[in-house]
Amino acid sequence: MKNVLVALAILISSFSLQAQSKVGTIDAEFILSQMPEISSVEEGIKTYNNKLQEDLQTTIKKYEEMVASYQTNSATFTDEEKAAKESEIISVENDIKNFRQKASALMQIRRNELTQPLYMKMDAAMKTIIEKEKYTQVFNTSINGMAYADEKYDITEAVMKNLGIEMPTE
């Protein structure tokens, strides 16, 4: 009976040794910042931001013209016309406020659209390294606030090499 228990313990421990995890880390944001394509992404974001700014300026100009026209002609308006003009001005003012609030969300959406192909490219390179090195888990150090990770398990450089990106010298 004792031999059976020892054999069972050895068998269980051999299974647990085989099932051990190999954990790695990657700094995806660093890789993204080193990709040559990031300059076109940044240019696309800048262009989109300029378009948003132009749209905002157009709306602000329209608002200013409406206010100036109202101030100039308010003496000639009937009470109903004044109320309609004031309502129209308030509506445009609200549009400006809403646009300003939505602008950062719109910029983030645009950034995500432009960086998605880069992340997909990075993901494919990462999967190649994961399969080759038999990693079971890889944590992104740029987003999860990891307190410590041993550099020997960092696959950032291997993924960059797979993408054909040279590691910058410090």
Q: Chunk the chain into consecutive blocks of 10 residues (it has 170) and report each block's average pLDDT, rounded to whole numbers.
A: 50 54 89 94 96 95 93 89 92 94 93 96 94 90 74 86 85
1 falls within a domain: no
pLDDT of residue 7: 46
Dihedral Cα 53, 59, 64, 65, nearest 10 deg: 130
pTM: 0.70
Separation CA 121–CA 109 (nearest Å):
19
Range(s) of the domain holding residue 73: 16-163
pLDDT of residue 147: 66
Separation CA 54–CA 60 (nearest Å):
10
Its sign, for the CA torsion 124, 129, 135, 141, is: negative
Separation CA 45–CA 72 (nearest Å):
40
Half-sphere exposure (Cβ direction) of 159: Cα atoms closer than 13 Å: 29
142 falls within a domain: yes
pLDDT of residue 6: 44
Residue 154 and residue 25 in contact, taking contact as beta carbons nearer than 8 Å: yes
> Domain with 101 in it: what CATH number?
3.30.910.20
pLDDT of residue 10: 55
DSSP string across 9-55: HHHHHHHHHHT---EEEE-HHHHHHHSTTHHHHHHHHHHHHHHHHHH
89 falls within a domain: yes
8 falls within a domain: no
Q: Is 100 left (phi over 0), alpha (psi -120 to 50) or beta?
A: alpha
129 falls within a domain: yes
Residue 18 and residue 132 in contact, taking contact as beta carbons nearer than 8 Å: no
75 falls within a domain: yes
169 falls within a domain: no
68 falls within a domain: yes
How many domains, the chain? Answer: 1
